[in-house]
Amino acid sequence: MRLQNLELCAVCAALLMFVGCGGPAGGPAGGAATAEKHDEHDHPSEGPHQGELIELGKEEYHAEMLHDDDTHTVTIYMLDSAAKAAVPIEATSLTLNLVAGGKPQQYALSAKPLPTDPTGKCSCFVSSDKAMCEALDQKGATGRLNVTIAGKAFVGKIEAHEHEHEEHKK
């Protein structure tokens, strides 16, 4: 009888290890989840404005980037570690460094405080630079967002991505 209980425990332990973190259970087919669960917290794949997330630090903060090809506008929102709440910062602009077509380029986004931002701080930055929108759309374009939050410098990677232009019209 004791041997059967031991065998049952071993089978249960093996099943638990198979189903553990990162397993296929509970997710959509093909693993295309909107948020991954790992280490007991969510990893969202898009921000509250349905934009591309840029990780800052070890997920200490996030930036959410949207760009509208029709108006040639790029908007970046500063967000908390969960990529949900706005984080107003003491900056009048952000710097976006891109490499597109093998050429390094640098762009500035100006502060556009939201009504909820406290005086002297901003959580939204905008640029209507057509060249920046075109650079972001180039195949293989990559970049870095440089930002200082509470006196600490952060650099977030912007990865090349393929997309349908309709997806980015917000």
Mean pLDDT of 28-37: 39
pLDDT digits (tens, 9 = 90+) for 34-72: 344 444 455 567 889 999 999 999 989 999 999 898 999
Q: Nearest CA to 87 among 114, 50, 67?
A: 114
| Sequence-separated (6 or more) residues with CB below 8 Å from residue 13 | none
Mean pLDDT of 66-80: 94
Domain residues for 116? 46-168
Q: What are phi and psi of 71, to 5 degrees?
A: -100, 0
pLDDT of 92 higher than 90? yes
- Which pLDDT does position 162 carry in this prediction? 55
Q: With respect to residue 73, please indicate whether it lies within any of the assigned structural domains.
A: yes
Q: With respect to residue 11, please indicate whether it lies within any of the assigned structural domains.
A: no
Q: With respect to residue 149, please indicate whether it lies within any of the assigned structural domains.
A: yes
Q: With respect to residue 106, please indicate whether it lies within any of the assigned structural domains.
A: yes
pLDDT of 73 higher than 50? yes
Q: With respect to residue 70, please indicate whether it lies within any of the assigned structural domains.
A: yes
The alpha carbon of residue 103 and the mean position of all alpha carbons in its chain are separated, in whole angstroms, by: 24
pLDDT of 131 higher than 60? yes
Cβ(90)–Cβ(108) under 8 Å?
no
Q: What is the pTM of this model?
A: 0.70
- Which pLDDT does position 16 carry in this prediction? 33
CATH of the domain at 89: 2.60.40
Q: With respect to residue 164, please indicate whether it lies within any of the assigned structural domains.
A: yes
- Which pLDDT does position 100 carry in this prediction? 93
Cβ(153)–Cβ(146) under 8 Å?
yes
DSSP string spanning 81-135?
Answer: TTS-SB--BS-SEEEEEEEETTEEEEEEEEE---TTSPTT-BSEEEE--HHHHHH
